[in-house]
Amino acid sequence: MIDKEHSVNKAYTTLQPSNSSLVNNSKSLRADAKQNREQILDAAYKIFVEKGLSIPISEIAREAGVGIGTVYRHFPSKEALLEAVYLSYKQQLTEEAKSLVNNTDPGKAFFDFFIGIMEDGFNNKALKDALNTKMTNSDVLHDFQSAFAALLIRAQQAKVVREDIDIKDLINIMMGFLHAVEQRRDNLDISRFNKLISIVTDGLHYKDTINKST
């Protein structure tokens, strides 16, 4: 009798997953979920760039190679997906700004970053909306503005960018410019856009007010 009970208990124990197996399975599920989320964000970003914001969730799911139910598990609405894409874009900009802050040429670093954002806005309405949209995640917006402000301050300290503007002025300039470009997109080619960018950046350059007044 004892041997039989021992045999049954042994068989039951063999069928049960070990704690380490449960942990590994849990990690695997988390990794799969993370991969799915990244695939969805990548697909949404690509489609929004190429086709705009009116594309249905089903097309994004096909592009990501997942079922539409998987998309909705990660993002309960299209608005939630849009915000996640916008947040991801701002996070990428933040990392880029941070990587440039110790550049040996702070003026070039600032203007390259500034012009890059403007070009993104010209080529991609979805990304322009990303810059202009109010996010529920204020930490991401704060991090982006702080990193951008650091580039601005270094360029000002190097006397490459005028000293009488701050990050709020800069954001207003960018959004006002991109809004004007969007309103006139049908009559604005890349050469004229580049000309307007040149005018804007000329206005941002450091002005030696002492020498100008003498």
pLDDT tens digits along 77-111: 888 898 888 888 888 899 999 999 999 999 999 99
Q: What angle do CA 145, 46, 139 make, to 5 degrees?
A: 25
Q: What integer pLDDT is reported at residue 165 of this predicted model?
A: 95
Q: Which has the minimum average pLDDT: 4-13, 46-55, 85-94, 118-127?
A: 4-13
Q: Residue 28: which pLDDT band, with cuts at 50, 70 and 90?
A: low
Query: How many domains are there within the chain?
Result: 2
- Give the span between the Cα atoms of 162 and 185, in whole angstroms: 29
Residue with the larger pLDDT of the pair 20 and 56:
56
Q: What integer pLDDT is reported at residue 115 of this predicted model?
A: 95
Residues 46 and 91 in one domain: no
pLDDT of 7 higher than 50? no
pLDDT of 26 higher than 60? no
Q: Name the nearest CA neighbour of 113 among 94, 97, 101.
A: 97
In a domain, 213, yes or no: no
pLDDT tens digits along 124-180: 766 665 555 555 557 888 899 999 999 999 999 999 999 999 999 999 998 888 888
Beta carbons within 10 angstroms of residue 127's beta carbon: 23
Q: What integer pLDDT is reported at residue 135 of this predicted model?
A: 53
pLDDT of 14 higher than 60? no
Q: Name the nearest CA neighbour of 44 among 91, 77, 93.
A: 77
In a domain, 214, yes or no: no
In a domain, 32, yes or no: yes
Region 189-208 average pLDDT? 90
pLDDT of 33 higher than 70? yes
Residues 95 and 37 in one domain: no
CB-CB contact of 159 with 81 (8 Å): no
- Exposed/middle/buried for residue 171 (C-beta within 10 Å: 0-12, 13-18, 19+): middle
Residue with the larger pLDDT of the pair 47 and 64:
64
CB-CB contact of 157 with 206 (8 Å): no
pLDDT tens digits along 50-85: 777 778 999 999 999 999 999 999 999 888 898 888
In a domain, 71, yes or no: yes
Where a domain ends, among 24, 43, 76? 76
Residues 193 and 91 in one domain: yes
In a domain, 129, yes or no: yes
Q: What integer pLDDT is reported at residue 76 of this predicted model?
A: 92
Residues 25 and 115 in one domain: no
Q: Name the nearest CA neighbour of 55 among 71, 70, 34.
A: 71
In a domain, 81, yes or no: no
Where a domain ends, among 11, 46, 76? 76
Q: Residue 31: which pLDDT band, with cuts at 50, 70 and 90?
A: confident
CA torsion, points 184, 188, 94, 201, in degrees to nearest 10?
A: -100
* Residues counted in the chain: 214
Residues 12 and 55 in one domain: yes
CATH number at residue 103: 1.10.357.10
